């Protein structure tokens, strides 16, 4: 795999973070809605190339229904930046799952968000690689 193609896949994966990068649990005194802005960072690894890079992300969630949210995120690495969208559905009290898409690099995959108070852990998986991020309100 060429280095350029590997970086393109990395950017696509990074964008999926917000993905990639959300949700929040019903915890005493904590808003149970994902709606709003989150930010933070983490690492992405491109599958075949094994390239790992740190990324910073900003994510915005919009509530679509009682248990469904639409995500738009932008992430940046030292090498560049990318945007991403996702739809997430509540699967348990603190966990949301769904699919993400990066139209810039035509990468799709799965996203899982686990909420703990005002923090969320975002896990991304695709054929291009994977990522893990920690976001805060």
What's 95's domain CATH number? Answer: 2.40.128.120
In which domain, by residue range, is 119 found? 3-136
- The residue-averaged pLDDT of 71-92 equals 91
- Predicted pLDDT at 33: 67
- Predicted pLDDT at 126: 93
Residues paired with residue 79 on neighbouring β-strands, in sequence order: none
pLDDT reading at 71 higher than 70: yes
pLDDT in tens, 95-136: 999 999 988 778 899 999 998 889 999 999 999 889 999 999
Residue pair 21/122 in contact by the 8 Å Cβ criterion: yes
For the chain, the domain total comes to: 1
pLDDT reading at 75 higher than 80: yes
Task: State how far the Cα of 90 lies from the Cα of 13, in Å rounded to an integer.
Answer: 22
Least confident of 4-13, 24-33, 70-79, 125-134: 24-33
Question: What percent of the chain clears pLDDT 70, i.e. is strictly above it?
Answer: 76
């Amino acid at each position: 795999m060429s280095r350029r193609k590997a970086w393109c896949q990395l950017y696509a994966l990074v964008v999926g973070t917000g993905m990639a990068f959300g949700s929040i649990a019903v915890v005493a005194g904590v808003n149970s809605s994902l709606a709003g802005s989150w930010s933070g960072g983490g690492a992405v690894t491109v599958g075949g190339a094994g390239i790992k890079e740190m990324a910073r992300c900003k994510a915005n969630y919009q509530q679509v229904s009682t248990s469904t949210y639409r995500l738009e995120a932008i992430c940046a690495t030292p090498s560049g930046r990318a945007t991403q969208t996702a739809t997430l559905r509540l699967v348990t009290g603190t966990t949301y799952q769904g699919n993400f898409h990066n139209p810039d690099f035509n990468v799709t995959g799965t996203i899982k968000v686990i909420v703990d108070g005002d923090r969320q852990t975002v896990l991304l998986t695709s054929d291009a690689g994977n990522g893990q991020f920690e976001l805060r309100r």
